[in-house]
Structure 1
């Protein structure tokens, strides 16, 4: 840090198991990726190339190398897995992961329907090839899951081999664990946390109010995802109680 401040909450150090900031790259250029890392690389733990943007991203290998050279893991969004799967191309997907030297992969079913036992089989197969992050929840705001179902799905996917489970919210933070207004489904989150360890969950929280809510609930070192590259510094100040939204949260009373 640039100077000393007392009463700053403890932040886990990279490589972290908790306190992760997962950033969504929706199409940065190579120069934009480099600029982003110059400013926020120290506070970024993992980068997702959103949904299936990797299919159309120019200079994909060069971009992956930029992130890897900065020591930050990168992976393709779960929608790409779904796009291969629905076309009967799972083995092709695995070859793509190898071809691009991917060490992480996301398995989701937010856009297609997959029997959950079958999804867990895919998690188990891929976990022998890469580190798997799986996503629970639908991108359809009209599909509302009961808390017990979220818990059962998350538990089964962790047991199948997922390193972390992502709680779905879509890019805009208006589905899954949120109402279509962006409001947190507070009762759902409370129930999930009675059964699933906090450090195993990445909560998608693209909106500032959602980030504030989770930090207020679970503390500085909560895992948050779908963070825009331009919002990483802002989020870090929220985590440290250095923005008005959490300014008093970590001060000694």
Structure 2
């Protein structure tokens, strides 16, 4: 930090198990990736190349090299995994991970129907090759999954070998964990937390109000994902109580 302030919540240090920030790259150029890292590398734990953008991104290997040089792992969005699976190209997907030296992969079923047992088998197989992030929730805003099923799926996927489970919200923050308005499905989140450790969940929260809600509920070291590149530093100030939305949340008024 550039100077000292008292009563700042302690942030976990890299490599983090909690306080994790996952950033979504939806097609940054190499120069934009370099600019992002010049200001925000310390606050980024992993970068997701959104959905299947890696298929059409020019100079993909060069961009991956930029992130690797900064010590920040990258993974392909879960929709790319689904695109391979639906075409019966799972072995090709595994070879793709090796080709690009990926150390993480996302398993999801937000765009296709997949039997939960089949999904867990994909997790088990990939977990022998990479660290698996498993996404729970549908990209269809009309498909409402009841809390007990979220819990059952998350527990099963963690048991199958997922390092963390991701709560679906898409890049807009208007499905899955959230209503179409972006409002948090609070009862769902609170019920999930009664059965699944908070350190094991990455909550997709692209909107500022959603990030604020999770920080107030779970503290500075909540795991958050689908953060836009230009929102990394603003999110860090939310985590530290240095933005109006969380300004008094971490202050002990009796010591002021």
CA distance in 1, matches of 2:127, 2:112: 21
Structure 2 gap ranges (5+): none
The equivalent residue for 1:195 is 195
Runs of 4+ in 1 over 2 A off after TM superposition: none
In the TM superposition, what is the alpha-carbon distance from 1:118 to its structure 2 partner? Answer: 0.5
CA distance in 2, matches of 1:163, 1:54: 23
The equivalent residue for 1:160 is 160
The equivalent residue for 2:8 is 8
In the TM superposition, what is the alpha-carbon distance from 1:84 to its structure 2 partner? Answer: 0.3
In the TM superposition, what is the alpha-carbon distance from 1:65 to its structure 2 partner? Answer: 0.8
CA distance in 2, matches of 1:103, 1:246: 35
In the TM superposition, what is the alpha-carbon distance from 1:150 to its structure 2 partner? Answer: 0.2
In the TM superposition, what is the alpha-carbon distance from 1:56 to its structure 2 partner? Answer: 0.4
Q: Are 2:79 and 1:85 aligned?
A: no
In the TM superposition, what is the alpha-carbon distance from 1:48 to its structure 2 partner? Answer: 0.1
Q: Secondary structure at the match of 2:194?
A: helix
CA distance in 1, matches of 2:159, 2:147: 18
CA distance in 1, matches of 2:45, 2:94: 24
Q: Secondary structure at the match of 2:202?
A: strand
In the TM superposition, what is the alpha-carbon distance from 1:156 to its structure 2 partner? Answer: 0.1
CA distance in 1, matches of 2:69, 2:109: 31
Q: Are 2:60 and 1:60 aligned?
A: yes
CA-based RMSD: 0.4
The equivalent residue for 1:143 is 143
CA distance in 2, matches of 1:103, 1:170: 23
CA distance in 1, matches of 2:92, 2:46: 24
Q: Secondary structure at the match of 1:42?
A: helix
CA distance in 1, matches of 2:93, 2:11: 36
In the TM superposition, what is the alpha-carbon distance from 1:217 to its structure 2 partner? Answer: 0.3
Q: Secondary structure at the match of 1:23?
A: strand
The equivalent residue for 2:114 is 114
Give the TM-score normalised by the residue count of structure 1: 1.00
CA distance in 2, matches of 1:142, 1:251: 40
CA distance in 1, matches of 2:220, 2:100: 34
CA distance in 1, matches of 2:192, 2:167: 10
Q: Secondary structure at the match of 2:132?
A: strand
Q: Secondary structure at the match of 1:5?
A: coil
CA distance in 2, matches of 1:92, 1:66: 25
The equivalent residue for 1:22 is 22
Q: For this pair of structures, how many residues does the alignment match?
A: 253
Q: Are 2:248 and 1:251 aligned?
A: no
Give CA deviations for 1:120-175 in whole Å, capped at 9, x if unaligned: 00000000000000000000001001110000000000000000100000110000
The equivalent residue for 2:41 is 41
Structure 1 gap ranges (5+): none
Give CA deviations for 1:5-30 in whole Å, capped at 9, x if unaligned: 00000000011000000000000000
